[in-house]
Amino acid sequence: MSVDASRSAGGGPAPAAAPDVKTQAQGATIATGTEAKRLSIDDLLYLIRYNPDDRGHLRVINDDICREKCVKYGYACTRFCPAQVYKWEENHVSVSWEGCIECGACRIGCPFANIDWKYPRGGFGVSFKNG
Amino acid sequence: MSGNERFDCIVVGAGPAGTAAALTLARAGVKVVLFERGEFPGAKNVMGGVLYSKTLNKLVPGFWKEAPLERPVIEQNLWMLSSDSVAKVGYRSPRFVPGHAAEGGVPDEGPANAFTVLRAKFDRWFAQKAVDAGALLITETAVEDLLWENGKVVGVQTGRDDGKVYADAVIVTAGLHALNSLIPKMADGRLGIKPEHVALAVKQIIALPKEKIEDRFNLPAGMGATIELVGASTSGLTGISFIYTNADSISIGAGAMLSDYVKSGKHPYDVIEDFKAHPAIKPLIAGGEVKEYLGHLIPEGGYNAVPKLYGDGFMVAGDSAMLVNSVHREGSNLAMESGRLAAETFIKAKERKDYSARSFAAYRDALDKSFVLKDLRKYRGIQHYLDSHPQIFLSYPEMVSEAAFRFLNVDEAPKAEHEKMMVQAVTNRRSMMGLLSDLWAGWRATR
Ligand SMILES: Cc1cc2nc3c(=O)[nH]c(=O)nc-3n(C[C@H](O)[C@H](O)[C@H](O)COP(=O)(O)OP(=O)(O)OC[C@H]3O[C@@H](n4cnc5c(N)ncnc54)[C@H](O)[C@@H]3O)c2cc1C
Ligand code: SF4
Ligand code: SF4
């Protein structure tokens, strides 16, 4: 067993200063410096290929349930959805189904079974390049 | 395919399970159609991914000479991450890669124990094998549900205009979400699959030049390594992360129980970005270009969550049947094996012209005798064990880190003192009795 204690001397923060991350059509480079820039969810979604359908495949069934019951979960789907499809907008959850990567987490994870979940129609939706 | 064409057998979903089934059926002369909702087989599929050779080699002998594989795995590692440090255990052996160890070229002696793969490429190749054997593959077509008549499955409803297709039986290999009429519902209308039964995994593909990968992972040319990680790699959620070397990219991902995500309110994309920023991980991927971001669920319910595997006119295989061994990160091989066994059951049933549940019960027997259910049974207690011992994932890695640091740090204290401090580092966090009981329960859960 080997042990790597990569503690920075004195426990201080790692030195900042690093080249910026470029987000390109093809990919996003992780800076070579000590401090790689975090990719935002928008950066990440930009890398995914989709065959967009013109009709949505996801729907929140009852906005009242989100408003009244889901506060204590911090509106769960707006947090765990890996593609940030759901966003809390003032008094309801908006659904950007175009970005869905079809994992199905919201189908199982909504504490109130309040999402009408389907896959997109055959041939539509996400189309991974690598998988 | 015309509206009322009839098949002997319909297979739903061209992942490892469905393709293994269709290939086996087509070779036996069964008239089989394989439906896939993606643009091509693999377009919707995500795994780590380590593909184990044994099961595939039974289906396509010599597969490694032609399949799109990334790297044969010569080394496997388990890392325990604390917030700023890492403890590593690993094993490298040329015995994992017979014939490959000589470097370069494709060996004839036999496949490596496992290969890293990218599913969008692999699944496409694998499905073509079924097509070559005579299966009809229809892509961009989602099966919406099963067609039932008198309590028996007689075909499928597809999303196409002339949508109904009939057959003697249907093999469902559509992954975790399977088909509505097969998924059990609870009394309150909620899904039978619970957030405790699945892990939500996100992954990135990071491009790096071959030589950089081999330098950083200390690999012979063309060879690959796997790293499984527990601890700080999942931001305090119960889960496992992974780093696998591909030919010229790295697959890096983090999976955690969906129930933990719901409870914690964390974002999966933050978890993976935090993991990538860990001081032990950052140097491995520095300068790489992120090519793709992916996400998928992993069935983790284990043996106790396996649903009904067959009925009148249907059988269920692969992820649709929750056949994943989460302890060993195996799924694709269980999918292939179960798909193959379902197909063989169908072939025998066809001789008798009996597609009833009684006839398909032979599928369950075959699974029981195979490694698929033997392995799942062996680990049937693990789910409960991990639920009731979250410290295995959370405080143990910190504890190991602290103990190792105290033992290895050179501070002129006598070595006997170091040993004492090491024991202290452990017992400060968990009593000796607690430790023993964790170990004992863990041992029991895997018997
Ligand atoms: C992040 C991650 C890492 C993993 N790592 C590993 C690993 O390293 N090694 C390993 O062995 N396993 C691993 N697994 C598990 C493995 O990926 C699965 O167990 C395996 O893919 C199951 O195969 P399957 O054929 O049953 O299902 P899937 O691979 O999910 O295939 C199902 C197919 O059916 C199609 N489909 C779904 N619904 C329909 C429909 N209604 N109509 C038509 N087609 C449909 C899908 O598009 C898909 O092609 C991992 C999983 C994940 C998510
Ligand atoms: S998780 Fe369900 S109930 Fe909560 S906000 Fe989302 S849709 Fe509404
Ligand atoms: S299926 Fe997955 S990606 Fe799509 S909306 Fe639900 S949680 Fe988000």
CATH numbers and ranges of domains, chain B: 6-65+117-192+307-369 (3.50.50.60), 71-116+196-299 (3.30.9.90), 384-445 (no CATH)
Distances (CA, A) of B422 to B27, B239, B429: 60, 26, 12
**Cβ pair B159:A122 closer than 8 A:** yes
* Index of the ligand 3 atom closest to the CA of residue A109: 7
Q: Are B306 and B276 in contact (CB under 8 A)?
A: no
CB B133 within 8 A of CB B26: yes
CATH numbers and ranges of domains, chain A = 1-47 (no CATH), 53-127 (3.30.70.20)
> Nearest-CA distance from A94 to chain B in Å?
17
Q: What number of other Cβ atoms are within 10 A of residue B104's Cβ?
A: 9
**d(Cα B444, Cα B429) in Å, to the nearest integer?**
23
- Torsion, Cα B10 B14 B20 B22, to 10 degrees, reads 30
For the stretch B218-256, what's the b/e string if a residue is b when 16 or more beta carbons lie within 10 angstroms of its beta carbon? ebbebbbbbbbbbbbbbbbbbbbbbbbbbeebbbbbbbb
Assess A56–B contact: CB distance below 8 Å, yes or no.
Answer: no
Q: Closest Cα of chain A to B359: distance in Å?
A: 32
Side-chain half-sphere exposure of A47, counting CA atoms within 13 A: 28
Q: Tell me the CA–centroid distance for residue A74 and ligand 1, in Å.
A: 30
Q: How far is the CA of B258 from the centre of ligand 2 (A)?
A: 14
Confirm or reject contact between B189 and chain A (CB < 8 A): yes
- Give the minimum alpha-carbon distance from B64 to chain A in angstroms, rounded to a whole number: 19
User: Which residues of B fall within a CB distance of 8 Å from A48?
Assistant: 292-294
- The pLDDT score that the predictor gives to residue A22 is 32
Determine contact: A2 vs chain B, CB below 8 A: yes
pLDDT tens sequence across A91-114: 999 999 999 999 999 999 999 999
ipTM of the complex: 0.90
Strand B85-92 to A125-126 pairing: unpaired
Burial B374-394 (b: 16+ CB within 10 A, else e): ebbebbebbbebbeebebbbb
Pull the structure tokens for residue B184: 């059990």
Q: Please answer yes or no on whether A3 and B121 come within 8 Å at the CB atom.
A: no
* pLDDT reported for residue A12: 34
Residues of chain A in contact with residue B189, where contact means CB-CB under 8 angstroms, are 113
Q: Which two tokens stand for residue B331?
A: 């799924």
pTM exceeds 0.95, yes or no: no
Among candidates A2, A30, A80 on the partner chain, residue whose Cβ is nearest the Cβ of B262: A80
**Could you tell me the distance, in angstroms and rounded to a whole number, from the CA of residue B173 to the centre of ligand 1?**
9
Q: Taking CB atoms and an 8 Å cutoff, what residues of chain A touch B286? A: 30-32, 36
| Candidate from B39, B294, B319 with most ligand 1 atoms within 8 A of CB, to mutate | B319
| A17 close contact with B: CB closer than 8 A | no
Q: Do B288 and A26 touch (CB under 8 A)?
A: no
Ligand nearest to the CA of A110: 2
A18, pLDDT greater than 70: no
Question: In Å, what is the CA distance from B446 to each residue of B327, B384, B435?
Answer: 9, 11, 17
- Portion of chain A with pLDDT greater than 70, in percent: 73
Tens place of pLDDT for every residue, chain B, 447 residues? 555 679 999 999 999 999 999 999 999 999 999 999 999 999 999 999 999 999 999 999 999 999 999 999 999 999 999 989 999 899 999 889 887 655 555 556 678 999 999 999 999 999 999 999 999 999 999 999 999 999 999 999 999 888 999 999 999 999 999 877 787 777 777 778 899 989 999 999 999 999 999 999 999 999 999 999 999 889 889 899 999 999 999 999 999 999 999 999 999 999 999 999 999 999 999 999 999 999 999 998 889 888 889 999 999 999 999 999 987 789 999 999 999 999 999 999 999 999 999 999 999 999 999 999 999 998 887 777 777 777 767 777 787 888 778 778 888 888 788 778 777 777 777 776 777 777 677 666 666
Q: Which residues contact ligand 3 via a Cβ below 6 A?
A: A 58, 81-83, 85, 100-106
Which of B143, B124, B118 lies closest to B41 in space, CA to CA? B124
